[in-house]
Structure 1
């Protein structure tokens, strides 16, 4: 069975047990791919059977793919950040060039909702680039501001950058709900209950045996320090990773429902979020 997920510590931590047959799971052929790749790949006819995408990309694929209610990234205090090397005022982003990790990412969707409220007149050019290139580009003045995700939350000060907004905090204060980031999806033609079961068991195994996944996590951690990788896992792997639950589904429905109403994603049937 083909599965695509990122090399980020939260994903490798979650899927370590399944990939290495430490829980009952099918044989998995893994491809490690950045979220921008999977967000765009998901809409193609030859897309993989299972993959990690942004929740923001779900409306584009729900006819063919189901949301697996575990294994993803959703929580509090873990949202994307808007960074600048000069100003901390959202108003100063008017007409400026902003780098984002993907046009179909949850981060970019949140940014557009936030900017509509906080940046009178709107930002200027949006430039898509791999997330690990964004902070150096902002630091070096190639870009006016950047939207960053993942471990950048812990390292942006090392680049001399300033926080303009924590979009997770903005979303939580605006809605009272956790922030949906990454989703695990599977083709609707598959045995979805079985997939849900082994993904959840892989999460539980990782929690019970955290030391067993350390080498696997660090092998794919893109030169990240062990301490940053550990903080990354602690932030993004939580109760919603084990089970999306009512609060998790409410957060997804709020984000995508609001985005559809604003015309930022295609209209879709909210009932399709639950298979």
Structure 2
């Protein structure tokens, strides 16, 4: 790392979800040798997406879906994010087999990856258009479906482990549809850093993120206090499932399949008019 990178304090925002606190624990607590100090803001993904669009912080965890709006200012880091298999968003309802044509569906943000996957699934599967889309914080969606405030809900995170506790049924698995139609992993959350920091610092940040991931795998117990402190309402077993599902080989490095998945998602979404098209080299790491 450069001397400038070592001396810097980096302003970063990521979610309090177990996968993010697990990934960043070692770095946030000064255990990554030579890494810049982190000034951490906790915020759910819909908020970090907005922060990135406004250019507010140096490094952020965002939805891959928001990249077309921010890639001029932010570079995609090749590690630290969330992709995977068998970990996609779910569409839930109170009654099994509900036809969503003309129905009201709650989603966790219209610039979320979950929403893009939902719209791509709907374009392929639904006989007609969804009625109304309502944006809600993700933790409010299952109660809203249970209470009949909306007909269905698009859920993310640990909801795939807990939705049955709300008496809900899974209508469709967005990730399963994505994988079956593309053969690619599911792109969910990305780590981005401000391009103006310069290539040496961007590489230093990527190295620190990757080292933090590897340290978390080497000593999982070290991260438990940080994970528990920010997921107090989450059962420890569910937190472990969450980490096991969302922190994987793509977190340590996107690789060819990871980059293909991101390009595939944004290309298909642009073709549907859901996002602006991106330049061919927009995802390249400086």
Q: TM-score, normalised by structure 1?
A: 0.97
Moved over 2 A (4+): none
Partner of 1:258: 268
CA distance in 1 between counterparts of 2:106 and 2:192 reads 27
Partner of 1:241: 251
CA distance in 2 between counterparts of 1:264 and 1:133 reads 24
CA distance in 2 between counterparts of 1:174 and 1:74 reads 16
The answer to whether 1:8 aligns with 2:17 is: yes
CA RMSD of aligned residues (A): 0.8
How many Å apart are 1:222 and its aligned residue?
Answer: 4.4
CA distance in 2 between counterparts of 1:124 and 1:41 reads 29
Q: Over residues 27-79 of structure 1, what are the superposed CA-to-partner deviations in whole Å (9 max), with x where a residue is unaligned?
A: 1110000100011221114x100000000000110000000010000000000
Q: Which runs of 5+ in 1 are unaligned?
A: none
Give the match's secondary structure for 1:102: coil
Pairing partner for 1:109 from 103, 116, 127:
116
Pairing partner for 1:229 from 227, 236, 239:
239
Pairing partner for 1:69 from 61, 69, 78:
78
CA distance in 2 between counterparts of 1:137 and 1:177 reads 32
CA distance in 1 between counterparts of 2:223 and 2:54 reads 32
Partner of 1:146: 153
1:192-231 counterparts in 2 under 5 A?
192-231=202-241
The answer to whether 1:126 aligns with 2:136 is: no
Give the match's secondary structure for 1:272: coil
CA distance in 2 between counterparts of 1:88 and 1:152 reads 19
Partner of 1:100: 107
How many Å apart are 1:203 and its aligned residue?
Answer: 0.2
Q: Which runs of 5+ in 2 are unaligned?
A: 1-9
CA distance in 2 between counterparts of 1:101 and 1:88 reads 22
How many Å apart are 1:87 and its aligned residue?
Answer: 3.1
Give the match's secondary structure for 1:98: strand
Q: TM-score, normalised by structure 2?
A: 0.94
CA distance in 1 between counterparts of 2:16 and 2:137 reads 13
CA distance in 2 between counterparts of 1:94 and 1:40 reads 30
CA distance in 2 between counterparts of 1:132 and 1:54 reads 17
Partner of 1:32: 42
